Amino acid sequence: MKKIGILGGGQLGMLLAQSIVRHGAEALIYDPDPQAPACRSVRTSINSNWQDKHALSAFLSQCDAATYEFENIPHESLAELNHTTPIYPSLDVLKITQNRANEKAFLKNNSLPHVPYIESENISQLEEKINSLIFPIIIKSTTGGYDGKSQLLVKTKENLIELLSPSKSKKLPSFPIIAEHAINLYMEASCITALSKNGEKSVFPVFENVHTNHILDTTTVPANIPPEITAAIQKLALQASVRLGVTGILCTEFFITRKESVVKSAHTIDEYNLYINEFAPRPHNSGHVTISSCNLSQFDALSRILLDIPIGNPVIHENKYFCMANLLGDIWLDQSTEVGANINLSSLNRYKDEAVEIILYGKEQARSGRKMGHLVTCGPTLQQAKVLALQIRDALNNSSALK
Amino acid sequence: MKKIGILGGGQLGMLLAQSIVRHGAEALIYDPDPQAPACRSVRTSINSNWQDKHALSAFLSQCDAATYEFENIPHESLAELNHTTPIYPSLDVLKITQNRANEKAFLKNNSLPHVPYIESENISQLEEKINSLIFPIIIKSTTGGYDGKSQLLVKTKENLIELLSPSKSKKLPSFPIIAEHAINLYMEASCITALSKNGEKSVFPVFENVHTNHILDTTTVPANIPPEITAAIQKLALQASVRLGVTGILCTEFFITRKESVVKSAHTIDEYNLYINEFAPRPHNSGHVTISSCNLSQFDALSRILLDIPIGNPVIHENKYFCMANLLGDIWLDQSTEVGANINLSSLNRYKDEAVEIILYGKEQARSGRKMGHLVTCGPTLQQAKVLALQIRDALNNSSALK
């Protein structure tokens, strides 16, 4: 029986592990936390830290192939390990996608659309390049950020000058950054592609994402854009996957603006401008929506690639719209739910027929903004699916009194 | 975090365990075989035999609630164990459903439709009751049989007399049996009901089942019967669940005949006669089809009952037909696939878009007739879904040459 190692034990690892098992193989998890969600879904998990080269090597050595469910494992550590297990997508892909500067350079070098940006050793050194910046800008650390962590919006040149003034600049953190033009977003979208070892290429439908406080809030599918824009996004996502050399799955996140085409680096069709924001060479939280909406999920696609099973063509259920809403720790905190317990779901009774999926990750500790679960609704229009998802979530938010 | 124990580690236990984990809880498996499919989907499994009262008690004691995924665990052994963990459905239900004589008596006493039958201490003693039998008959052991094991078809009175003749009767096994009238089947159907601790009752759509060599071959949904027959089946399934006192899920299998109403014990509507064949108070192989066809699966329904989450109303995706085809060990044997390996699925490439689900149970040993996996197809008509499922399976059967 084939053994597949997953580096990381969060909800994405949990759902991937379950898919691997349903494809007749065994999944193994590596995560520092023995209480990580995925550890409950496998027979074998190794719980040690990301710096433990001995444990990582031993883990990989017992697997036929490996993948990862989050990309903040330094690729250098992985590259130095003593094992012969293939890792998909390759560490070359990870090297690019886990560093924003590398990612932007990749987009630039491959003529893939992207927002104009400037790279800098740290925030202070932005001063030298101030005249090249198109304001407003977002300053992002090149490594380690997720869910909007280590990001800073600077609206005007004057604001940046003030930030860099001697009295304030001392407090600025010193790490490599990129400063990118903050465009006036019409929509955020994502597109997952799946590429097998023997050249099969599959593309998922395009998702429409809404972020609140930089955290993914809802994903609706299919995205409310004309078919030619959908096709252009899918084509760009596939081009990027091929150029990156991905074997596995890749989530490409897009920014979409309308009408104003301020910058040349966009991919423009009619009044729509497309920009690739960033990549995740792994299952993605927006891809949760594939479980109930498509004939195969992002997890199935990756399992099949890892196990040499034909991927298939992901197709959304006809004439249906789906909306995934994240359930954040705030609901648990509002309900004053004890550690390790689930929230009171009794309010679901009122809406139970329309929720096609409720997944709780079983994280023991609720924190504000922490992804604790998600729900998916289905409706005859995009609007109805979305209204329903928000209604159900609001009911959960307000159900502490029912407890 | 709640812990749910599952007695039995087959494919039904595997899929139930995954659903429990996705509902934010922990699943534990008890199965004599450490290589049982479900053991790969949980952190903790206890591998000891069904007679080991100490291990069974210890297992149940560490769970908040327990259930079972096959019903051949003698309820007496379970009843004698030292633990306080509630088991759903209760052992009173199991006592009835694991014994065909009890099951038939239950149907009779509750005026639920059933095929006429006679109970006997063993086959030999059928002689005394020979004039009460309506031929052809099927003789079934009262306990322990599944997939048609321990069943014998006797076409005529003369055949039975011959079977009971002194020269042959010595070879007959001696265990309690029932002899039931073998009716001329128009269709076999099943209906899963889900009943919560606080009185919520949910009914799944009616499935149409085809058995080959007594083993479930295909399940299509919705069953090709008029709406009033579907409603009658759902009503009877629910009535039976309530009378049995089920908390959990129950699969009720039905026989359907048309026109000829030879026996009074049928439930007749127009020219359709309905009979309850048997019960399974657990997830059922025909219920695999619920995973892709409904907004919630049989596994989700049971998980929610065990975890005190509202069940919801199972609804089939509109205007769609689904067909589940079992993949038996014969495919593996035909492909001369080594132990523990999966079959060559490359032929799926030709059909990949229409197969909405392929689940492989990862059983290490292929045997003729052993359930090794299943696939589900989706189509705009029942006929198209079914033809496609059989085509894909045939292609797998014939793909050994491709290997």
Domain boundaries, chain B: 3-87, 90-114+183-318, 116-181, 320-403
Q: Do A1 and B340 touch (CB under 8 A)?
A: yes
Under 8 Å between Cβ of B45 and B29: yes
CA distance B282 to B296: 16
- The b/e string for A175-197 (b: 16+ C-beta within 10 A; e otherwise) is ebbbbbbbbeebbbbbbbbbbbe
Q: What is the mean pLDDT of each run of 10 residues along chain A (403 residues)?
A: 96 98 96 96 96 94 96 81 94 94 97 95 90 92 72 92 84 87 95 96 97 92 96 98 98 92 78 96 97 92 94 86 93 74 66 76 90 92 93 75 33
Q: Pick one of 2.40.10.10, 3.40.50.1370, 3.40.50.150, 3.40.50.20 as the CATH number of A3-87.
A: 3.40.50.20
A191 at B interface, C-beta within 8 A = no
- Partner A, chain B 319-378, Cβ-Cβ below 8 Å: 320, 340-342, 345-346, 348-349, 352-353, 355-362, 364, 373, 378
Chain B from 215 to 274: CB within 8 A of any A CB: none
The class level of CATH for B90-114+183-318 reads alpha beta
- Superfamily, domain A319-403: ATP-grasp fold, B domain (3.30.470.20)
- Whether residue B89 contacts residue B250, with contact meaning beta carbons closer than 8 Å, is answered with yes
What is the SS3 assignment for B101? helix
Identify all chain B residues contacting A18, using CB atoms and an 8 Å cutoff: 18, 21-22, 41
- CB proximity under 8 Å: B 281-300 to A: 292, 295-296
Write down the pLDDT at residue A157.
Answer: 94
What is d(CA B141, CA A397) in angstroms, rounded to the nearest whole number? 54
- Say whether B40 and A18 touch across the interface (CB within 8 A): no
Element (H, E) at A191: strand A187-195
Q: Which residues of A touch B295 (CB under 8 A)?
A: 292, 353, 355-357, 378
CB contact under 8 A, B295 and A356: yes
The residue among A221, A219, A365, A303 whose CA lies nearest residue A20 is A303
B313 and A23 within 8 Å at the Cβ level: the answer is no
How many angstroms away from the CA of A162 is the closest CA of chain B? 48
Which of A25, A355, A358 has the CB atom closest to B362's CB atom?
Answer: A25
Distance CA A331, CA A398 (A): 8
What does pTM read for this prediction? 0.94
Q: Provide the CATH number for the domain formed by B320-403 in this structure.
A: 3.30.470.20
pLDDT tens-digit series, residues A15-39: 999 999 999 999 999 999 999 999 9
| Fold entry, domain A100-111+183-318 | D-amino Acid Aminotransferase; Chain A, domain 1 (3.30.470)
Q: Is B312 on the interface with A (CB under 8 A)?
A: yes
Distance from CA of A146 to the nearest CA of B (A): 24
Q: What is the per-residue pLDDT for B244?
A: 98
A346 closest CB neighbour out of B1, B310, B360: B310
* Distance separating alpha carbons of residues B325 and B393, to the nearest angstrom: 8
- Do the chains contact at B362 and A21, CB–CB below 8 Å? yes
- pLDDT tens digits, A340-377: 666 777 666 556 567 778 899 999 888 999 999 999 99
Instruction: Return the beta strands (E) in B142-200 as ranges.
Output: 151-154, 177-181, 187-195
Alpha carbons A327 and B61: distance in angstroms, whole number: 32
* Disruptive mutation site among A39, A43, A202, A291 for chain B (greatest number of B CBs within 10 Å): A43
The Cα of A251 is separated from the nearest Cα of chain B by a number of Å equal to 21
Best residue of B321, B358, B363, B365 to probe chain A, by most A CBs closer than 10 Å: B358
Are B184 and B135 within 8 A, CB to CB? no
Residue B2: strand, helix, or coil: coil
Q: Same fold for the domain at A3-87 and the one at A116-181? A: no
What ipTM was assigned to the predicted interfaces of this complex?
0.92
Name the residue facing B342 among A24, A357, A361 (closest C-beta). Answer: A24
User: Is B64 part of the contact surface with chain A (CB cutoff 8 Å)?
Assistant: no
Asked if A1 and B312 come within 8 Å (Cβ–Cβ), the reply is no
Low-confidence ranges of chain B (pLDDT < 50): 400-403
Token pair 């127009």 in the structure block, residue: B270
Chain A positions touching B350 (Cβ under 8 A) are none
Structure confidence by residue, pLDDT tens digits, B301-336 = 999 999 998 888 898 887 889 999 999 998 888 877
Alpha-carbon B56 to chain mean position? 24
CB-count exposure of residue A77 (10 Å: 0-12, 13-18, 19+): middle
Partner residue facing A312 (CB), from B37, B320, B353 = B353
The minimum CA-CA distance between B203 and chain A, rounded to whole Å, is 12
Check A40 against B24: CB less than 8 A apart: no
Cβ within 8 Å of residue A10, ≥6 positions away: A31, A36, A37, A38, A69, A70, A361
Between helix A11-22 and helix A298-306 the angle, nearest 10°, is 60
Domain A116-181 has CATH 3.30.1490.20: yes
Cβ atoms of B23 and B303 within 8 Å: the answer is yes
Inter-chain residue contact B355 with A295, CB threshold 8 Å: yes
**What is the CB neighbour count within 10 angstroms for residue B64?**
15
Q: Which CA distances in Å does A80 have to A54, A76, A77, B45, B379?
A: 11, 6, 5, 35, 50
Distance CA A188, CA A254 (A): 6
Whether chain A has a CB inside 8 Å of the CB on B310: the answer is yes
